[in-house]
Amino acid sequence: MTPPPRQLSPLVTALNDLTPEQLSRFSRHIILPGFGREAQRRLLSARVAVVGAGGLGSPILLYLAAAGVGTIGIIDDDTVEASNLQRQVIHSVRDVGRSKADSAREAVLTHNPEATVNLHPIRLNAQNALDILGGYDLVLDGSDNFTTRYLASDAAEILNIPCVWGSILRFTGQVTTFWNVPNDGRLGVTYRDLFPEPPAPGTTPSCAEGGVLGVLCATIGSAMATEAVKLITGVGTTLLGRVLHYDALSGKWREFALERDPERVPVTQLEEDEVTCSLPPETAHEPDCAPEPATAGTLPRTHAWTARELAHALQHRESSVDAWQLIDIREPAERDIAVIPGSRHIPLTDFSAGNATQLLPHDAPVVLYCHHGVRSAHLLADLERAGFTQVHHLTGGIESWSRTVDDSVPRY
């Protein structure tokens, strides 16, 4: 049974009065029943931290700026890539290669020149999270990895500030509000009540591997911004204790109850467990110079091949049926975007269904590759347990191949 919605007291105290220009600009807010000048003043006095200036961060930042939030902190250490533009609407083509934090700040100030924008162009970690988030009234977590999600929620629990969380993957999204001890005197919930334990590394696909419907970011990001406005002003009821799930294909919203785990140990200090959905580009692990060419009889012995090692091995691969095989385990839609020449396609789903292992040779080497090297690493381990002894995989996946061997191969 879904718990009753919780209407909380306003999070932020209204400070300065509105100027004539602000009365005009925010008039559509002010005339709302139950909103008025006081709620708008609270928005102008609010300090909001946004983790991530990407798919979710884009609509969050733009709508918070337009709503008149006085101080906005942008936490992002990434740079804009062309593949971001399909969903990260705060950036444009001219921003490719720029810092996402810088690009987002420019867009925020374009919408609201009176806003104070604090840039934190670093990755949130156990050492800096409390210092950064401690300067804000609430945090909106638009990150795309489990490590940062746990950090943001844990830091918010220690600081006892609300954390509005959202996530998206493929055609679905979720949104809720976490707050350890809300201002209504009742205990609240945190991310660890929703997900007590992180998933095993690589078991959950990232947006880069699973894909994401671009417009879904607007739906979930706007819902997160709405939660922030309600928390700041005290208008309406929050999602605390309720998780909204949206299926874009059916257009249906579903609501789930979220209760506090009475056995959960409170978080009193930050710890950083590396939990990844995907691996970063492997360029940092590439050798400084190319290895000696691998002849047909001298393939790399390690189970993890770099892109350069694979390139040299392909250059000298024998054409006989007994030669080693390069297997692309990505989904068909991914192969339509980019492919390493000379590879054979056996999707990971075929292995999961148990239909593909008989297609692999037991007496010849096999090299697996995927997008970033996560799925191939897990399949390698599974195949070794099944008795395959000559299985290898490409670290960094086709992303590493494009970055270090052939930049004409599209990155996605």
140 backbone dihedrals φ, ψ, rounded to 5°: -110, 120
Q: 222, 291 in Cβ contact below 8 A?
A: no
Strand, helix or coil at 61? helix
Pick the catalytic residue from 207, 217, 277, 289: 207
The residues, any chain, with a CB within 8 Å of residue 211's CB and separated by 6 or more, are: 170, 333
Give the H or E element holding residue 240.
none
Q: Could you give the CA distance from residue 330 to residue 334 in angstroms, rounded to a whole number?
A: 6
Q: Could you give the CA distance from residue 42 to residue 64 in angstroms, rounded to a whole number?
A: 13
Q: Could you give the CA distance from residue 187 to residue 215 in angstroms, rounded to a whole number?
A: 35
277 is catalytic: no
Q: Could you give the CA distance from residue 76 to residue 54 in angstroms, rounded to a whole number?
A: 9
Q: Could you give the CA distance from residue 308 to residue 224 in angstroms, rounded to a whole number?
A: 43
Dig out the tokens for 257 from the structure: 């109850």
Alpha-helical segments (H) within 186-238: 191-194, 207-210, 214-233
Pick the catalytic residue from 163, 217, 277, 370: 370
45 backbone dihedrals φ, ψ, rounded to 5°: -95, -5
Strand, helix or coil at 298? coil
User: Minimal CA–CA distance to 7: which of 234, 181, 257, 260?
Assistant: 234
370 is catalytic: yes
Residues known to be catalytic:
207, 370
